[in-house]
Chain A
Amino acid sequence: MYTCRERSSSYVNFGNKLMTSLKVTALCATAALLVTGSTAVAGQVMDDIKSSDELVCLVNPKSPGFSVPDSQGVFQGFNTDFCRMAAAAILGDASKADIRGIGFSDSMKTIVAGGAHMASRSITATGTRDADAGMAFVATTFYDGQGFMVPSALGVSSASQLSGATVCAEDGSTTLLTLADWFGDHKIEYRVENIADKTARLEAFFSGKCDVYASDITALNSDRLLSDTPDAFTILPEVISAEPLTLVTQPDQDLEAAVFWAFQVMLNADKYDITSENIDAITADISAQPKAVRRMFAQDGATADMATKLGLPADWAYQVVKQVGSYGEVFDHHLGAETPFKLDRANSVNADFADGGLMYAYPIR
């Protein structure tokens, strides 16, 4: 008893991550022991969301641009908006998303144990993970790739010059596997330091304990801003992995469909230049719109039919765009030219398909 109390009290005070780790372990154990049969039954998780009138959604607790708490302690960011998207589509109110910050390692365990309805936290979809019965990969919101960041003073211009370097990476992530693959394939010697605590990890890199920081390119972009001298660091040109960062839900056919199609509404809105600003003007003059737009937002459109089948509010597509916005709107708002990250979506793989990107809006009909 003494041990248990002593250990947990120190975790409560410091190290959010370890505290959650502890909670999750307990949660996992309880879930494994007590919950009866949790196979993917259509609608079960969806019913739970509706009856509790809130959608529990996991995000990264500290990822500038993607999810960080603002001065009021409310999470803001690109990933956060997909939690709000799901709440707007299912509950008709984006603010009904109960957004919780959680470490990477524990987020998937929490989903599997039934501790959250979905996660929007830059989780890479992989075969093994998707094969697990406890979670479903639903829609890729961001195409990323793993890269390297080095101090500019090191004078390195390509990852092939990194022989003998020490690389810092997040504990427990796919980053470690990708590193081992890439350095192994290129027969380059390296050392890895996988540090779980983000502050410790970044301090280790900024102070030069590690020569290289490896993570997804976008994470490198945002983590760089946490340094006192962001310009002193360079991101190397090599992209060594495919990282389709994907929304994860508990397995439930209705929930998966709702989240997937809500995301397609955001892509379609982007394609037709519909935003949260102009949506009211569009719906006010719905008969003058292209047919695809009418199917999305008219009262007798395809989305209304989907609403009855999936058990969503009739105007779910309107609510998603009105309360959250189109994909491009959300992207620019959190990551675009006006933000410190200055990501150029038009020239990236996250551009619309028509502009040569991978964001391909499925037909809503």
Chain B
Amino acid sequence: MIPPRLPPPDRKILPVWDIFATAVVVLLIAFAVNNVITNMSLAGATPGFGFLWQNAGFDVSEALIPYSPENGYYRVIIVGLLNTLLLAVVSLVLATALGLLIGLMAVGPSPIGRIAASGYVEVFRNLPKLLILLILFVTAVNELPHVRSAVGFGGFYLSNRSLYFPTLVFTPQIWGVLASMGGAILLALLMQSRLKQHRIKTGKALPMLGACVPCVLLLPVLGAWVLDVQWVWSLPEFAGFDYKGGLRLSLQFIVIALTLGLYHGAQIGEVIRGGIEAVPSGQGEAAQALGLSRGQALRLIILPQVVRIILPSMSNQYVNLIKNTSVAIAVGYADLMSVAGTIINQSFRPLEMMLITMGMYLVICLSVTMMLNRMNERLRLAQH
């Protein structure tokens, strides 16, 4: 039965309090802005962003784009921003995967799994993330081997400094391989929609994987053979003080991503557990009565409903995780907060740099929230 709708709020009442509150907020903001400008000019400082083009003069531990101290402050800010984004993306994936696993274990049939999940959640939910980070970092630097005695496995080397791994040298021919790979994926997508139509028409599911995996794999191989690609690998090799060649993932990056993954994994696990428990058990039973397997019931009936329930809390988790990447400064990962701090000390532009940093975090978090909100809207349509 659909409950009767509530009447819309009475619009005739004058929103006196609304107007009053708005006026107070606007006045406060105006006062603050005016004060900042007045006080800065009194102190002989003119707010401005021209300093962004001055030489930064300091190095960073890792950068995704070419950077040298000769570059301007603006470039080191971009370096920090990209490092923050990379860390956020990797941690988000880690935390979500871990959270999903923990959530499923917590409601699963295995008692050991349930105990393990709740033990994990209680430990990591109740410890401050900075403590987890410092413990992991100090343990990792002390327990992992020194760079001179790094452990190697198939071109990979792990030491307490970094994880070193081989990388493909990007020759022009590789574009051809990439293009054929793109073509293969397109083909696979096309096939998927045809297979879906086929299933709708006949009710029979054709083996999608069996048909697509070979073509996705075969086309690039064919492309590589046709173009006669020379695969050039850059291998990490120890020379002097450190490994040269290949690529590296710094220990601090790994440790911070792990910290955020573990910390938010526990919280996301709880969110997912709550979401699964909120789906009436009759849904799963009905699915099984219709002949779906346990896995199919989970994938096709339960999880879509879970996603709808947990989305608002998940966007909260994601936003928190993104902001929490700023603990990185403690162990020397050159994230946005770290470079902003150094810039403030060198240029003495705290107000401008804080505004820039705040603006960047705001844009990142708002985009994530907006994306998840739109997803939420779309999913909600199905629910009456």
Contact = CB atoms under 8 A, between A and B. Distances in A.
Interface of A: 2-3, 6-7, 9-11, 13-15, 17-18, 25, 28-29, 32-39, 104-105, 108-109, 112, 128-129, 131-134, 162-166, 168, 171-174, 176-177, 179-181, 183-184, 190-197, 199-201, 203-204, 207-211
B145 to A, nearest CB: 9
B146 interface: yes
A11 B130 contact: yes
Given A108-B345, A176-B59, 18 more contacts: A10-B128, A10-B130, A13-B130, A18-B327, A28-B350, A28-B354, A32-B36, A128-B347, A166-B242, A172-B342, A172-B344, A177-B57, A194-B334, A196-B330, A196-B331, A200-B134, A203-B142, A209-B141
A165 B242 contact: yes
A200 B331 contact: yes
B141 A14 contact: no
Given A38-B43, A179-B59, A204 B330 contact: no
Contacts of B334: 194
Contact of B320 (A3, A38, A172, A195): A3
B131 A192 contact: no
22 contacts: A10-B130, A15-B330, A25-B354, A35-B39, A104-B345, A162-B241, A164-B244, A171-B332, A172-B345, A177-B346, A180-B57, A180-B58, A183-B59, A193-B61, A194-B60, A194-B342, A195-B332, A197-B330, A200-B138, A204-B141, A207-B141, A209-B161
Contact of B241 (A32, A39, A165, A194): A165
A177 B134 CA distance: 26
Nearest to B334: A194
A211 B60 contact: no
Contact of A164 (B160, B242, B331, B350): B242
Interface in B41-68: 42-45, 57-61
A163 B137 CA distance: 26
A11 B250 CA distance: 24
Interface of B: 32, 35-36, 38-40, 42-45, 57-61, 69-70, 128-131, 134, 137-138, 141-142, 146-148, 160-161, 239-242, 244, 250-252, 316, 319-320, 323-324, 327, 329-332, 334, 338, 341-342, 344-348, 350-351, 354
A37 B350 contact: no
B8 to A, nearest CB: 29
Contacts of B242: 164-166, 191, 211
Contacts of A196: 329-332, 338, 341
A196 B244 CA distance: 26
Contacts of A28: 350, 354
Contacts of A34: 32, 35
A125 to B, nearest CB: 13
Given A171-B342, A194-B342, A164 B35 contact: no
Given A10-B130, A207-B160, A181 B338 contact: no
Contacts of B239: 164
Contact of B161 (A10, A104, A166, A190): A166
A210 B241 CA distance: 10
Main secondary structure of the interface of B (DSSP, over half): helix
Contacts of B332: 168, 171, 193-196, 200-201, 204
B291 to A, nearest CB: 43
A164 B58 CA distance: 17
Contact of B61 (A32, A132, A192): A192
A166 B320 CA distance: 32
A201 B320 CA distance: 26
A207 to B, nearest CB: 4
A128 B316 CA distance: 41
A26 B171 CA distance: 51
Interface centre among B42, B148, B250, B331 (most CB of A within 10 A): B331
A199 B252 CA distance: 14
B120 to A, nearest CB: 18
Contacts of B344: 105, 109, 172
A181 B68 CA distance: 11
B330 A33 contact: no
A173 B344 CA distance: 10
A35 B31 CA distance: 12
Contacts of A210: 161
B131 A13 contact: yes
A176 B338 CA distance: 12
Given A133-B44, A180-B58, A37 B244 contact: no
A134 B349 CA distance: 12
Nearest to B161: A209
Contact of B338 (A132, A171, A209): A171
A200 B350 contact: no
A244 B248 CA distance: 38
B161 A9 contact: no
A208 B141 CA distance: 8
